[in-house]
Amino acid sequence: MTVNSDLTQAQIFQENGFVTTGSLLSVSEVETYREIYDRFLSGEIESGDKRSDLGSHVPRRDGVKENITQIMWPSALHAPLLEMPLHARALEMAKALIGDDAVLDFDMLIHKAPHTDVPTPWHQDAAYWIDLPDKRAVSIWVALDEAVLDNGCMWYVQGSHKQPLRPHYPTSDGKNIQCDCSEDEPGATAVPLGPGEGVAHSGSTLHYSRGNTTDSVRRAYILNFRSAEMLRLERERGFDVGLTNNVRLVRNSNAVDSGN
């Protein structure tokens, strides 16, 4: 990604639909988050219906529990996370990118185990959400391991947040959603990260990641923010982003694919 060094992070975010955040966690803090993360993965911290497989449309190899493990609302399942540094630092970044009225909407963990080799389908987060009058939203994706091309670093399409939402449709098993896009799309950009580093993207920015073909794990912690007033409206309309009903559907009418 070529970036004009004279632009602020907020300006790059507004122009491209994504921007790197730099380091959000120290080496020792990363290790602490990894330990908690692995307690979720092992089941020591119970996830219940908040845990699911983002890659369930691909047959699993023997011994693989999930192709892509997603755990929604880790901070609701393990409250001490809210008092740890990442939430405060991510909120500060969110305020710089979308405004001082930014508040936490939800958080999640997404894990790609070694050699699972299942891509996360191309999509726009806003397709999952109910349509709201104020579109400001930012997801801050934080790597807890080195994130590179071959283990599933994030890819974005520059400027896609300025276009209408693409039609989204269910994956083959009906449990996830996707849209048509590829790494050959003009503006498609890979964003490798080191442990503790982050990248922020808009709710309407096209993104995906490759499967993990390496010997290493790829653990990511994602925190999503929107304006306080839109959070109130969202909850008033009964939508809590998987807290009570962890089902992945196209909920935004602007992303409905009438042809599928």
pLDDT per position in the chain (260 positions), as tens? 444 557 899 999 999 999 999 999 999 999 999 999 999 999 999 999 999 999 999 999 888 899 999 999 999 999 999 999 999 999 999 999 999 999 999 999 999 999 999 999 999 999 999 999 999 999 999 999 999 999 999 999 999 999 999 999 999 998 999 999 999 999 999 999 999 999 999 999 999 999 999 999 999 999 999 999 999 999 999 999 999 988 888 888 888 876 55
Say if residues 167 and 126 touch (Cβ distance below 8 Å).
no
What whole-number distance in Å separates Cα of residue 57 and Cα of residue 76? Answer: 27
What whole-number distance in Å separates Cα of residue 62 and Cα of residue 134? Answer: 45
What whole-number distance in Å separates Cα of residue 206 and Cα of residue 72? Answer: 21
Residue 161's pLDDT is what? 98
Q: Is 30 helix (H, G, I), strand (E, B) or coil?
A: helix
Element (H, E) at 90: helix 85-98
* CA torsion, ordered 94, 99, 100, 106, to nearest 10 deg: -40
Residue with tokens 């934080």: 142
User: What's CA 86's distance to the chain center, in Å?
Assistant: 15
0.75 surpassed by pTM: yes
Q: Give the relative orientation of helices 85-98 and 27-42 as an angle to the nearest 10 degrees.
A: 110
Residue 62's pLDDT is what? 84
Phi, psi dihedral angles at 37 (to 5 degrees): -55, -45
What whole-number distance in Å separates Cα of residue 77 and Cα of residue 108? Answer: 11
